[in-house]
Amino acid sequence: MIIKTVDLETVCGVTSRLPENTLPEFAFAGKSNVGKSSLINALMNRKAYARTSSQPGKTQTINFYNINKALYYVDLPGYGYAKVSLEAKAKWGKMIERYLQKSAMLKMVFLLVDIRHEPSANDKMMYDWVVSNGYHPVIIATKLDKLKRSQVPKAVKVIRMGLGMEKEDILIPFSAETKQGREEIWELIEQAAQE
Ligand code: GTP
Ligand code: MG
């Protein structure tokens, strides 16, 4: 995909109204620090347009990036961030749920998991929840550069098993460092945006 323009068009806080967009949306979900904003930067061909941090809990709003005036990348706050109060967690859980349930233009949900770890109970819950809302989440196994190539097949198997993925469900190993996997993700997005 050739990126001509990127524009952080809407930023939603926990009490904001969600935008009623008319372009297809692609959402990126996953636990805090898994690499959602880094993936979005890679998909925008920008180094740091979406803010990233080694401290979990960087993205605390729902950010809508208008891409080429043709579609949106939607950067969601991470779940499982320990330092946030239970009340804040519950509010954000509701907000993310509301977005995933209500958005008329949401075409695809990317669920990110760290390739080095077995999916957590939260990952599994999110996966099941997305499925129960009628989507087939595309799994992105992030931080691929942190594994030796020989470790990848086993790690992929552990994630597929852990989430209870079907054979035909898509899992793409990805690295924001090397950009490996980016073309494949772009292809999925371009295809779905046209449907
Ligand atoms: P929240 O906004 O807190 O939910 O986190 P996030 O999922 O947006 O994660 P973010 O993109 O901010 O990345 C978290 C940390 O992981 C940063 O220090 C990134 O540089 C690092 N990181 C993200 N992706 C990769 C990757 O593919 N490889 C490596 N080595 N580090 C990565
Ligand atoms: Mg983020």
Pocket test for ligand 1, best of 51, 53, 172 (most atoms within 8 A of CB): 53
Q: 39 is in which domain, residue-wise?
A: 6-194
Is 122 or 143 the better-scoring residue by pLDDT?
143
**pLDDT at residue 62 in the model:** 93
Please, what is the Cα angle at 12 between 43 and 179, to 5 degrees? 15
> CA 175 to CA 144: how far, in whole Å?
5
Q: Which ligand is closest in space to the CA of residue 34?
A: 1
**pLDDT at residue 82 in the model:** 62
**pLDDT at residue 87 in the model:** 79
The two beta strands, 62-67 and 71-75, are antiparallel
- Measured in angstroms, how far is the CA atom of residue 172 from the centroid of ligand 1? 16
Q: Do the domain assignments include residue 51?
A: yes
First-residue to last-residue Cα distance in the chain: 16
**pLDDT at residue 101 in the model:** 87
Domain tally, the chain: 1
CATH number, position 143? 3.40.50.300
Convert the pLDDT of each residue in 19-49 to its tens digit. 999 999 999 999 999 999 999 999 999 999 9
**Collapsed DSSP state (helix, strand, coil) of residue 151:** helix
User: Has residue 113 got a pLDDT over 80?
Assistant: yes
Instruction: Give start and end residues of each alpha helix (H) in the chain.
Output: 36-44, 86-102, 121-132, 152-163, 182-194
Convert the pLDDT of each residue in 46-86 to its tens digit. 999 998 988 887 778 899 999 999 999 999 988 776 666 77
Query: Do the Cβ atoms of 66 and 6 come closer than 8 Å?
Result: yes
ipTM over 0.95: yes
User: Has residue 89 got a pLDDT over 70?
Assistant: yes
Is 108 or 78 the better-scoring residue by pLDDT?
108
Q: Output DSSP code: residue 35.
A: S
Convert the pLDDT of each residue in 134-164 to its tens digit. 899 999 999 999 999 999 999 999 999 999 9
Indicate the burial class of 192 (C-beta count within 10 angstroms; 0-12, 13-18, 19 or more): middle
Closest ligand 1 atom number to CA of residue 32 = 4
**pLDDT at residue 59 in the model:** 78
**Phi-psi sector, 13: left (phi>0), alpha (psi -120 to 50), beta:** beta
**pLDDT at residue 81 in the model:** 67
Q: In what order do the strands lie in the sheet with 106-114?
A: 6-12, 62-67, 71-75, 25-30, 106-114, 138-142, 171-173
Average pLDDT over residues 105-114: 97
- Measured in angstroms, how far is the CA atom of residue 37 from the centroid of ligand 1? 7
> CA 142 to CA 105: how far, in whole Å?
25
Confidence band, pLDDT 50/70/90 cuts, at residue 112? very high
Q: Do the domain assignments include residue 66?
A: yes
Query: Do the Cβ atoms of 31 and 123 come closer than 8 Å?
Result: yes
Q: Do the domain assignments include residue 77?
A: yes
Nearest Cα residue to 81 out of 117, 128, 30, 125: 30
The token pair that represents 14 in the structure block = 């926990």
Average pLDDT over residues 179-186: 98
Q: Do the domain assignments include residue 1?
A: no
Residues with CB under 6 A from ligand 1: 30, 32-38, 52-54, 56-59, 77-78, 142-143, 145-146, 175-177
- Measured in angstroms, how far is the CA atom of residue 75 from the centroid of ligand 1? 12
